[in-house]
Structure 1
């Protein structure tokens, strides 16, 4: 493997080394890095990542709803990309979320599981929980799998 310009940021974000080459062109993306996303599990059956509440709050001192969606989309897109393989690229066509509870401190964990994995479309559910395991929000993301541009 040749030198990847994103190795340091990928390692800091918890991305296993076997996936580094997949992110050679753009890394994880600036927004994912700005929110402080840390990946804990990256398998076809489950993707798990977390973000700190601190630094990602809205003006009322709770985790911004958009941060929930960034975490959900980061997980859903990467899971779809893994499912599609190296010749396919995920293209998000729908994401929605329902917020059940607020978080004002600590870390929020997103757990992404597949609902449908097809040849041209993937659907994932992403559940965000607080450090006590309480559900904060539930998201669903649909990705088309398109041929990867070289």
Structure 2
């Protein structure tokens, strides 16, 4: 069911629908169609050489928060899936948390494009992800 058919899901409900994100330690703090905010703590087991938070962990954060943003902008009965994602890494993260803020750049009948800014605890931009999500219409009355 899309969010427009029911009461808006809570950040906890949205995270529960993404077990991989929860397993990584991603948290959702705010979730509206205009802005989704989440974070991921730095941890030694999510690092690459030199204690730097792995880019894949940061991309998982951006993808998860961006996907929630796309989902919250779907028409009734539709689903979504990522078809393209591009991340620019701008600064290493060696402690604290990475904070993600996703905003829709385009909401159409076929595609939703979301930009997610990644910032460190000092509010420095550490990365930026732009992802394209396809809008999947419900089939035979079923929802995605």
Band the TM-score falls in, shorter-chain normalisation: 0.7 to 0.9
Q: How far is the alpha carbon of 1:85 from its aligned partner?
A: 3.8
| Whole-Å separation in 2 of the counterparts to 1:120 and 1:85 | 10
1:125 equivalenced with 2:138 (yes/no):
no
CA distance in structure 1 between the partners assigned to 2:90 and 2:99 by the alignment:
14
Match of 2:56 in 1: 66
What's the TM-score once normalised by structure 1's chain length? Answer: 0.80
Q: Give the secondary structure class of the aligned counterpart of 1:67.
A: helix
The higher-RCO structure (CA 8 Å, 6+ apart) is: 2
Instruction: State the TM-score, normalizing by the size of structure 2.
Output: 0.83
Report the counterpart of residue 28 of structure 2 in structure 1: 39
RMSD over aligned CA atoms reads 2.0
Give 1:18 shift: 4.1
**Shift >2 Å, 4+ stretches:** 26-30
Distance apart, 1:90 and its partner CA: 0.9
**Deviation at residue 86 of structure 1 after TM alignment:** 4.3
Name the structure 2 match of 1:82. 72
